[in-house]
Amino acid sequence: MSLTIALAGNPNCGKTTLFNGLTGSNQFVGNWPGVTVEKKEGKLKQHSDVVITDLPGIYSLSPYTLEEVVARNYLLGERPDAILNIIDGTNLERNLYLTTQLTELGIPVVVAVNMMDIVEKNGDKINIEELGRELGCKVVEISALKGRGIMEAAEAAIHAAKNEKTIPQHTFCGSVEHALAHIEELVLHDMPEEQQRWYAIKIFERDSKVLEQLNLSEETRAHIEKDIEAAETEEDDDSESIITNERYLYIASIIKGCYKKVSAGKLTISDKIDRIVTNRILALPIFAVIMFIVYYVSVTTVGTVATDWANDGVFGDGWHLFGIGSSAYSDVADEYNEALTVANGFVTYESEQGVDTSAVEAAMDAESEDYDPEAAKAALTQFAATIPAGTEATYEVEDEETLATEDETATVDDLTAAMAVLDQDGYEAPDPANYGVWIPGIPVFVEKALTSIGCADWLSGLILDGIVAGVGAVLGFVPQMLVLFIFLAFLEACGYMARVAFIMDRIFRRFGLSGKSFIPILIGTGCGVPGIMASRTIENEKDRRMTIMTTTFIPCGAKTPFIAMVAGAIFGGAAWVATSAYFLGIAAIICSGVILKKTKIFEGDPAPFVMELPAYHMPTVGTVLRSMWERGWSFIKKAGTIILLSTILVWFLSYFGWVDGSFGMLAEDQIDCSILAKIGNAICWIFAPLGFGNWQATVASITGLIAKENIVGTMGILYSSGAGTVYQNMAATFSLASGYAFLAFNLLCAPCFAAMGAIRREMNSTKWFLGAIGYQCGLAYLVGLVIYQISSLLSGGGFGIGTVAAIVVIVLFFFLLLRPSKKAEIRRNTLAVDAR
Ligand SMILES: Nc1nc2c(ncn2[C@@H]2O[C@H](COP(=O)(O)OP(=O)(O)OP(=O)(O)O)[C@@H](O)[C@H]2O)c(=O)[nH]1
Ligand SMILES: [Mg+2]
């Protein structure tokens, strides 16, 4: 018959570390309380008939939070064959509080004193024989981290499960014992004897869950109540406090007998660090500096290099092995491109002056099938000869990323110099393969392979433009994310993140938010996906859900090119547009927090923040890498599923459509015949009240759901037709009001697929996922509506239904924001927490 052994103990005492050691699993370990929130099962190594259950950490068997309910229900409902109670040897007093309760359950208990490595280092001594005698169960010493004594602990638990009963040694004072005896006799006599005591104590404490479960008659309750009240009068305290106090007195007496603390009174290293790190004045600047470094290294320096390598190298044209030859190549390539820009600029300028430049244009077209460097050289030389000396050519240059255009001027001398450069390279773009060791990117390989097997056009289009491009764009973020995850894993594992929450809590609490919401938001400025995942550090389920819902309001890295595009095309490059995007994000988060907190679903005190600060310690490399990998891997898996499917879908929708009544595959420039355009046209009326009810903007917003980078690309394609540049066409379509509404909508609405996948996974419920997406889109819509309608009104537009709607939204917003919250409820929760 198989045995079940439950690992129970306070948060952060090392249960999961022990669980991993005993079962060989890879469950997540972190240096803050509340890492494990569900129970996990595994088989004990070398004993396939023994099941070990890892439980969330609990301080007592009176449940206040979700994890505590999980643990208690498991212990009471499933009744494991034995409990291995892990206690933190550096914090005996508090940990034993739970132990005194566990021994009353009537389940065999073995106590494992963990963190013995630290206890010994401090020079403290624990007399485990004496401790065992006092508690009435076997006590062993272990170090879960070092793997010391863990198998012995498991063996002891197995032995206890088979042979022993744990009989609580502690007795309460006379009046309480009297009441307990009455309760046992009156209502619990049918219950197995060993379980009676725990239930009696809980009834004495008036535990609502137990009373509900037992469903006592009015008469019996009244009878019991008399006993309880008698004890309360005698002890002059309420029943729950009597029990709590007596437990602590008992623990104090045990500890006196078997614990010698050498380090008593001295400040530990952790205390010393905390004096600085959580100092009222220094805490924030230190945090800002640390986060800046993390952010800087992972997003701008190492991260950018890694992302560029992944995007432009592995999923692009290719890369130089170990970067050898890469800088030499880029120098040459930059020089060549610059020269080409000058030459082409002259050609464009001359053609604007009325000169026929078609011959040189055709010859210089390097993209064309029959490009001939010799002919290009000849044509350009001939063209240059016709230019009068002293000509200054002005032409437009387009920024690759934002598509912003800028005017540049060049003289004839510049042209001569440029031609020299072109000539030097033989009128052919430098080949990166000639510098260092060049490894072609995946698309290049795939394209070659597809061409060599003579793959059909549509299929190679699907594979290259759809799958490789789409999934590649997402996987391209993996290196950057892994770098970020290493830092975060380190900060978590060493114990700093627990402090951050503590520091931020002082500020966020004013808005009714928990301090732990801050970390996800901060990370979200880089990428929403790890931001959403970082919400796991929030133990309170309501706060965690709210944070997941609001984190992506902050502009992430992928949204920045889009912001720049709108600012450049519609607002003449005004700098305030980008700044305002961040303020808009922060305002959306804080206002959402305040408003949602006042609703039934999210109400409650911002997570009773009684988190204790764990001691700092140096994490092992394995822990950090495991944590990094666990997070990274789930992202990669997502790229292989949801993103893969969505890219295929979008590829199909934008490359297929109806031309002249017949359905088929489209050429690049026929996008307005695509199915996507049809869809855009069908639903763009939705956005009419926001001022951008055209199919292009609608479709751009939709492709933005795949990846926010798509918005720029899509706008680039859709607005490139017709006269003028993309920017000019956009400026003609959008007014300032509708442009900003468009920006606001796309910043706040549902994030990209990757982030939505993360939301789905972290919410772990379809209902909540849809709720979150709905909230984001709804909010984005209303914000866009208000921005467009009110600014149209202010700039002299008419007063219509839309204006009325916007005013209603504003009034409603202020009502929701300012209405009083249910303070009384909050206070009750706080009291409940204090009581324990
Ligand atoms: N020095 C030392 N550190 C340990 C030992 N056991 C665990 N730790 C560290 O203590 C921290 C908490 O470990 P976890 O295993 O996540 O604790 P837990 O009890 O599962 O925590 P919750 O899931 O939050 O209840 C981690 O940083 C571990 O590396 C030990 O024996 N010695
Ligand atoms: Mg755990």
Ligand 1 pocket check for 95: Cβ under 6 Å:
no
Ligand 1 pocket mutation, candidates 7, 10, 12, criterion most atoms within 8 A of CB: 12
Of 75-89, 215-229, 432-446, 508-522, the one with minimum mean pLDDT is: 508-522
Q: Are 475 and 505 in contact (CB under 8 A)?
A: no
String of DSSP letters for 452-474 = HTT--HHHHHIIIIIIIHHHHHH
Output 830 or 567, whichever has higher pLDDT.
567
Ion ligand 2: residues, CB < 5 A = 16, 35-36
Angle between helical axes of 478-494 and 621-638 (0-180°, round to 10): 140
Q: How far is the CA of 18 from the centre of ligand 2 (A)?
A: 9
* Residue range 56-60: mean pLDDT, rounded: 83
Q: Which token pair is 173?
A: 């004072």
Most confident of 218-232, 285-299, 462-476, 633-647: 218-232
Greatest alpha-carbon span in the chain:
114
CB distance 34 to ligand 1 below 6 Å: yes
pLDDT over 80 (residue 687): yes
The predicted-structure confidence for 743-784, as pLDDT tens digits, reads as follows 999 999 989 888 888 898 888 889 999 999 999 999 999 999
Collapsed DSSP state (helix, strand, coil) of residue 580: helix
In the block, which residue shows the tokens 């009744």? 79
Category of 238 on φ-ψ map: left (φ > 0), alpha (ψ -120 to 50) or beta: beta
Contact indicator for 78, 107 with CB cutoff of 8 Å: no
Q: How would residue 788 be classed by pLDDT, with cut points 50, 70 and 90?
A: very high
| Closest atom of ligand 1 to CA, residue 11 | 25
In this structure, the number of other CB atoms found within 10 A of the CB of residue 128 comes to 17
The pLDDT value recorded for residue 812 is 92
Packing angle of the helix pair 753-763, 541-551 (nearest 10 deg): 170
Q: Averaged over 440-452, what is the pLDDT? A: 81
Whether the pLDDT of residue 635 is over 70: the answer is: no
Backbone angles phi, psi at 382, to 5 degrees: -60, -40
Residue 787 pLDDT greater than 90, yes or no: yes
Query: Do β-strands 318-320 and 438-440 pair in parallel, antiparallel, or remain unpaired?
Result: antiparallel
Phi, psi of 649, rounded to the nearest 5 degrees: -60, -50
- Position 543 pLDDT exceeds 60: yes
Question: What is the pLDDT at residue 275?
Answer: 85
Q: What is the pLDDT of residue 9?
A: 92
CA separation, residue 69 to residues 63, 136, 209 (Å)? 5, 26, 10
Distance of alpha carbon 518 from alpha carbon 607, whole angstroms: 13
> Is residue 91 exposed (0-12), middle (13-18) or buried (19+ Cβ within 10 Å)?
middle
Going by alpha carbons, the residue nearest to atom 27 of ligand 1 is: 31
Residues 18-30: tens digit of each pLDDT: 999 998 877 766 6
Q: CA distances (Å), 98 to each of 62, 95, 201, 208, 424, in order? A: 10, 6, 14, 19, 80
User: What is the rounded average pLDDT of the residues 276-286?
Assistant: 84
Within 13 Å, how many C-alpha atoms sit on residue 30's CB side?
26
Average pLDDT, the chain: 81
Residue with the larger pLDDT of the pair 465 and 445: 445
- The answer to whether the CB of 86 falls within 8 A of the CB of 59 is no
Return all residues near 619 (Cβ < 8 A) that are at least 6 apart.
31, 489, 490, 493, 494
Distance CA 403, CA 613 (A): 49
Q: What confidence score (pLDDT) does residue 470 get?
A: 67
> Quick check: CB of 628 below 6 Å from ligand 1?
no
> 602 by DSSP, 3-state: which?
coil
Confidence class for position 835, pLDDT limits 50, 70, 90: very low
Residues 696, 718: contact at Cβ < 8 Å? yes
Closest ligand 1 atom to residue 54 Cα is 20
ipTM attached to this prediction:
0.97
Q: 28: CA distance to ligand 2 center in Å?
A: 7
Q: Ligand 1 centroid to 122 CA: how many Å?
A: 18
Paired strand residues for 43: 51
User: Considering every ligand atom, which ligand is closest to the CA of 12?
Assistant: 1
Check residues 459 and 3 and name the one with the higher pLDDT: 3
pLDDT in tens, 357-402: 888 888 878 777 778 888 888 888 888 888 888 888 888 887 766 6
CA angle 132, 136, 138 (to 5 degrees): 45
Is residue 225 over pLDDT 80? Answer: yes
* pLDDT computed for residue 154 by the predictor: 92
The pLDDT of residue 829: 47
Q: Is 494 exposed, middle or buried (0-12, 13-18, 19+ CB in 10 A)?
A: middle
Higher pLDDT, 3 or 461: 3
Ligand 2 centre to CA of 515 (Å) is 21
Q: Which two tokens stand for residue 537?
A: 């550090």
Q: How far apart are CA 681 and CA 493, in angstroms?
A: 51
DSSP per-residue codes, 111-180: EEEE-HHHHHHHT-EE-HHHHHHHHTSEEEE-BTTTTBSHHHHHHHHHHHHHH----------HHHHHHH
Q: 699 has which bridge partners? A: none
What would the DSSP string read from start to end of 715-763? HHHHTSSSSS-HHHHHHHH--HHHHHHHHHHHHHS---HHHHHHHHHHH
CA distance 468 to 440: 14
pLDDT value of position 26: 73
